[in-house]
Amino acid sequence: MKGTTTHTTGPWTLNGSEIEGDGMTVTTITDYRTLTPRQAANARLIAAAPELLAALQALLAKHDDRDGLSDLWPEQAAAARAAIARATGV
Look at residue 1 and tell me if it is in a domain.
no
The pLDDT, as a whole number, for residue 1 is 43
Cβ contact 33:60 at 8 Å? no
Q: What are phi and psi of 73, to 5 degrees?
A: -135, 70
Look at residue 2 and tell me if it is in a domain.
no
The pLDDT, as a whole number, for residue 53 is 93
User: Which residues, at least 6 apart from 16, have a Cβ–Cβ distance to it below 8 Å?
Assistant: 32
Look at residue 3 and tell me if it is in a domain.
no
Look at residue 54 and tell me if it is in a domain.
yes
Each residue of 1-41: pLDDT tens digit? 455 667 777 788 887 778 888 888 888 877 666 777 877 78
Could you give the count of Cα atoms lying within 13 Å of 7 in the half-sphere of its Cβ? Answer: 22
Look at residue 49 and tell me if it is in a domain.
yes
Each residue of 38-89: pLDDT tens digit? 777 888 888 888 999 999 999 888 776 666 666 778 888 888 889 999 888 8
- State the total domains in the chain: 1
The pLDDT, as a whole number, for residue 52 is 93
The pLDDT, as a whole number, for residue 19 is 85
